Amino acid sequence: MSANIVSRLLEHYRLHARRLPWREAAPDPYRVWLSEVMLQQTTVATVTPRFARFVERWPTVEALAGAADAEILAEWAGLGYYARARNLIACAREVAARGGFPEDEAELRELPGLGAYTAAAIAAIAFGRRAVVVDTNVARVVARLFSIARPVAEAKAEIRALVERITPKERAGDFAQAMMDLGATICRSKAPRCGECPLRPDCTAFASGTPEAYPVPKAKRDRPHRFGTAWWIERDGALWLVRRPDKGLLGGMAALPGGEWGDAAPMEPVLATVAHGFTHFTLDLAIVARGEPVGEGWWQPLDTISEAGLPTLFRRAVEAVLAQRRMLFAA
């Protein structure tokens, strides 16, 4: 069964592989690493233009390692999960100091921010090493192929063992990318296109008649809701911005100053309110006018606010206030 799966999958990949800017005939470890970090919990459509901007600005890991933290964080703004950006900086500098990326999966795991999946993906795709690469798409393909009737989070060990069993010794990188493509374009979580799948003859979920039933979805948990206040401090057409502490949520990113986020809504008049969802909680952020600068920061001209590198939450907060202002002027 394994040999048939591999041969059919690789042939399908040869014919239908997605054309992505980080895929090259001779894979560049830097581009493979950068793409894998960006793609964590972020879609290919979102990452593709941002990846192009990154490699145009910093074409090598040495160039990225030599860039200022603030420049990299500003370029990352809008991609979310900002701990990835801080790890990206630390990893680039570690790799540059070493003189390049290690080829061994275990050594790759020692680099900042590289977990089991990312290390395996780089080892397989960039260096042709046989490694067990399991992302969300691969896990779904395997869960359906072998009818695993449990949530992926509960079946990680079983799924990994099955991927280990079918991963070939040769062309492990192509195999990993073929599995990812299959999950992203054909074996989708909803409305899988089973008629186009090269693994359909071996797929037990397809044989069952209900492929979408696999894997079993995990139970959704309600996220707690919080409230926060951001201060709008404006002077001579410029807005006062600060940089958030390096550690913690949105660490190191440009932001509007403000208080702690908690369980109570602010009582003072607000200019605007934006709702935002984080992984573990939702937030209502009220934007409140304030007169004097708070904390260490800088004046960012409002006509260049898009260049400040604000993360999505604070970018939307600024947009909300400016939209309210335009409505008042138009009235």
Q: Are residues 120 and 239 in the same domain?
A: no
In tens, the pLDDT along 93-146 reads: 999 999 999 999 999 999 999 999 999 999 999 999 999 999 999 999 999 999
**In angstroms, rounded to a whole number, what is the distance separating the alpha carbons of residues 102 and 14?**
28
Q: Are residues 254 and 165 in the same domain?
A: no
Q: Which residue among the candidates 11, 24, 36, 164 is catalytic per the annotation?
A: 36
Residue 81 backbone class (left: φ over 0; alpha: ψ -120 to 50; beta: rest): left
From 213, 233, 256, the end of a domain falls on 213
Q: How many domains does the chain have?
A: 2
Q: Are residues 142 and 38 in the same domain?
A: yes
Q: In a 10 Å sphere around its CB, with 0-12 CB exposed, 13-18 middle and 19+ buried, how is residue 58 labelled?
A: buried
Instruction: Look up 36 and say whether it is catalytic.
Output: yes
Q: Are residues 243 and 291 in the same domain?
A: yes
Q: Rounded to the nearest 5 degrees, what angle is found at the Cα of 135, between the Cα atoms of 133 and 136?
A: 155
Residue 220 belongs to some domain of the structure: no
Q: Are residues 140 and 259 in the same domain?
A: no
Other CB atoms within 10 Å distance of the CB of residue 232: 19
> Percent of the chain having pLDDT more than 90?
81
In tens, the pLDDT along 8-33 reads: 999 999 999 999 999 977 899 999 99
Note down the domain range covering 200.
2-213
Question: Residue 167 is part of a domain; what is its CATH number?
Answer: 1.10.340.30
Q: Are residues 295 and 198 in the same domain?
A: no
The band of 1, judged by pLDDT with boundaries at 50, 70 and 90, is: low
Strand runs labelled E in the chain: 225-232, 234-235, 238-243, 254-255, 272-277, 282-289, 297-301
In tens, the pLDDT along 56-108 reads: 999 999 999 999 999 999 999 888 888 899 999 999 999 999 999 999 999 99
Q: Are residues 84 and 177 in the same domain?
A: yes
Is residue 302 pLDDT above 60, yes or no? yes
**In angstroms, rounded to a whole number, what is the distance separating the alpha carbons of residues 126 and 174?**
10
Q: Are residues 187 and 311 in the same domain?
A: no
Is residue 331 pLDDT above 80, yes or no? no
Q: How many CA atoms lie within 13 A of 202 on its CB side?
A: 17
